[in-house]
Structure 1
């Protein structure tokens, strides 16, 4: 016969201070799990939505995977358009975006700032970068820039310092913020965009970093790749944009593995903390447990009741942490080497976090309960 369900619930209420401390400890452990898993899911989501399967990137073959180090001739866009037939045309404009992209020191009006990612583009850029949407202000003119909605996180600045009308400095010039843009959570959202010609003058460069081309329906990136391989004199490399960000996924794989290792370490630490607290809780109830055995309850029934108490506390802590994570952590911007992205507390993160919490409740209560129930009933009844 099992102990009544209400018995375990009442036991938690009989020791409010110990129960509250255990709840806070369990909730803290689960919260750390939510943070780490949200980081992993946010990084993966940012890279997953950054690529467009119809866009091909052409850049220097010598730069490997780092486009910031790429340098190609300014005549490359016109050469590609003249040599290839599969480039899309929208509204009478060829969908080719020549771009100069690099990391540089950016200073905001309030004196803050840091290493920012700046991309010089032309008016054709929105036709190729189809996820980019201007959400405030206007497209930049000479001496102006537009900033992504996560640029504040990348620069470690504030929303006020990067609001429309404010001034920022980079490459020895002052630039007025004319607008803000979003890009569906992609990597572009941590960047600053300006006119290509302006950026070339500021950096004293006439070359480009890359050319992004939108292919018309039915055309393959293989044609562009073949052209780049045949024209060895140009030293160009072509790759579908989705494949490029897939390689970045592999590049950041050690980071994700390390983050999952942190989840395991945090969970292990939580289990040991739960063991410590449950040992203390059970040690003060030796006579109670012995009395239950003396009046006829089996050890298995008492063990299940103790596990019930641990699981109830763990479930409450998991729900508390989940509510905080969804309301306060979900969507929080995080600075990273590739730019910035947002923590993502999705169904996977909730499942892992709550699963870890319930595991803490079971594994934390099981060993001390077994140890207490192994003692002789007569000896336990005499304990103080």
Structure 2
């Protein structure tokens, strides 16, 4: 015969302080799990949505996977347009975007600022970077810059400082903020865009970092790669943009594994904290458990009742943490080496967080309950 369901619920209410402390401890552990899993899911999504399968990136063969270190001739874009037949064209305009991309110190007035990512582009950039859309203001003109909606997070400044009409300083020049843009959550949202020729003048460079080329529907990246291999004098390499960001996912794989390891450590710490709390709770109920056995309740029924109490606490803590995570953590921007991205508390994060929380309730209740049930009933009845 099982103990009534209400028995476990009443037991939690009999010790309100201990119950509250246990609930806070469980909710804190689950919240930490939500933070770490949200970080992993946000990083994975940012890289997954970055890259257009129809775009090919052409940059220096010596730069390996770091486009910021790439330097190619300023005439590369015109040369590619003239030499390749697979470039997408519309109304006589080749969809080719020459770009100068680098990391530099971005400040505002006397503010020291932070390390930002700036991309010098031309009017053809939106034709190739099809995910980019202006959400406020306008395309940057002379002396102006367009700011991604995660650029403030990358710089570590208040988003209000990136308001339209404000100025930012980099490369020894002040730039007026003319617009804000979004890019479906990809890495471009961490960047600042300005006019290519002005950016080259400010940096005293006439070269490019990368040329982004939109392929025609019947074209293949192999054509561009073959051209780069044949023109060894140019020292170029070509890679599909989607492939490029997939390689970055492999590059950040150790970071993701480390984050999952942190989840395991946090969960393990939570289990030990739960064991400590539950041992304290069960230690004060030794006579109660012995009395239940004397009345006629089987050990299995008493064990299930103790587990029920742990599950109620852990489920409540997981629910509280889940609501707080969805309300306060989901969409929060965080800085990272590649730029910035947002924490993502999605279905998988909720499943993992609540799963860890419920497992803490079971694993924390089992050992102390088994220890109490194994003690002789006669000795337990004499316990203080």
Secondary structure, in 3 states, of the residue corresponding to 1:351? helix
CA deviation after TM superposition for structure 1 residue 160, in Å = 1.6
- 1:224 maps to what in 2? 224
Aligned mates of 1:34, 1:256 — CA distance in 2: 14
Matched, 1:71 2:71: yes
Q: How does 1:314-353 map to 2 (within 5 A)?
A: 314-353=314-353
Give how far 1:321 is off. Answer: 0.5
Q: Which digits, 9 at most, give the CA deviation of each residue in 1:151-185, with x for residues without a partner?
A: 01000111221110001100000000001000000
SS at structure 1 position matched to 2:102: strand
Aligned pair 1:16/2:31, yes or no?
A: no
Once the two structures are superposed, the pairs formed by residues 4-153 of structure 1 within 5 Å of their partners are 4-109=4-109, 111-153=111-153
Instruction: Specify the alignment match of 1:250 in structure 2.
Output: 250
Secondary structure of 1:361's partner?
helix
TM-score of the pair, normalised by structure 1: 0.99
CA distance in 2, matches of 1:281, 1:34: 27
- How many residues align? The count is 384
Distance 2:294 2:322 in 1: 41
8 Å contact 2:95–2:127 — kept in the other structure?
yes
Asked if the contact 1:314–1:361 (Cα under 8 Å) also holds between the matched residues in 2, the reply is yes
Q: CA-to-partner distance for each residue in 1:77-131, whole Å, 9 max, x for gaps?
A: 1111111111112343211000000000000247252000000000100010000
- Does residue 295 (structure 1) correspond to residue 295 (structure 2)? The answer is yes
Q: Where do 5+ consecutive residues of structure 1 fail to align?
A: none
**Pairwise mapping of residues 299-314 of structure 1 onto structure 2 (< 5 A)?**
299-314=299-314
Alpha-carbon distance in structure 1 between the residues aligned to 2:110 and 2:130: 33
Q: Is the 8 A contact 1:112 1:156 kept in 2?
A: no
The secondary structure found in structure 2 opposite 1:113 is strand
Q: CA deviation at 1:344?
A: 0.5
Q: Which runs of 5+ in 2 are unaligned?
A: none
Q: CA deviation at 1:14?
A: 1.1
8 Å CA contact 2:303–2:369 kept in 1: the answer is yes
SS at match of 2:211: strand
Name the TM-score, length of structure 2 as normaliser.
0.99
Q: Is the 8 A contact 2:153 2:159 kept in 1?
A: no
CA distance in 1, matches of 2:93, 2:168: 32
